């Protein structure tokens, strides 16, 4: 699996909802942290940034997936981009799911559900509580 495939599976697990940049970043981060076999191969390299773990490559990969018609990117009402899966991306995700253990798919869905359920501040606090090393360059005020 390529890292873009994991990005696509995360967006597919949002079940038609858009993900904000922080939701996308933190979903992929948690996936890599909690499911070691995901981060053993071609995956993202997170480092401490303004609001915790960050990898700008996620945004480049998202743009490539948008060019292929697999995801969409909208400018949200809050001035940042919002990411969502397209019907073509959903079809491709079904093929990807067949290559992965069902437990991993369920875990991705739980991660995305959790990340979507938390307001920005609570999500960042959760990440810092469990992964304090990613607070190093934070501008987040608790």
Confidence of residue 138 (pLDDT cuts 50, 70, 90): confident
Q: What are the structural domains, with CATH classification, of the chain?
A: 3-135 (1.10.10.10)
Confidence of residue 46 (pLDDT cuts 50, 70, 90): very high
Query: 123 Cβ partners below 8 Å, 6+ apart?
Result: 22, 23, 26, 115
Query: 39 Cβ partners below 8 Å, 6+ apart?
Result: 32, 33
Task: State residue 72's pLDDT score.
Answer: 97
Beta-strand ranges (E) seen in 2-67 are: 47-49, 52-54
pLDDT digits (tens, 9 = 90+) for 47-102: 999 999 999 999 999 999 999 999 999 986 777 899 999 999 999 999 999 999 99
Q: Which helix (H) or strand (E) element contains residue 131? A: none
Summarize the confidence of residues 11-15 as an average pLDDT: 96
Task: State residue 140's pLDDT score.
Answer: 79
Confidence of residue 36 (pLDDT cuts 50, 70, 90): confident
pTM attached to this predicted model: 0.94
Tell me the two tokens of residue 79.
């001035």
């Amino acid at each position: 699996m390529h890292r873009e495939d994991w990005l696509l599976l995360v967006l597919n697990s949002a079940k038609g909802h858009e993900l904000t940049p922080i939701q996308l970043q933190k979903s992929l981060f948690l996936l890599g942290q909690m499911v070691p076999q995901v981060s053993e191969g071609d995956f993202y390299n997170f480092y401490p940034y303004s609001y915790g773990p960050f990898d700008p490559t996620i945004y480049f990969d998202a743009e490539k997936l948008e060019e292929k018609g697999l995801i969409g990117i909208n400018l949200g009402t809050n001035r940042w981009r919002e990411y969502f899966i397209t019907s073509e991306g959903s079809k491709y995700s079904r093929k990807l799911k067949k290559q992965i253990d069902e437990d991993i798919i369920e875990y991705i869905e739980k991660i995305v559900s959790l990340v979507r359920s938390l307001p920005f501040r609570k999500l960042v606090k959760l990440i810092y509580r469990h992964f304090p090393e990613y607070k190093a360059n934070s501008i987040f005020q608790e």
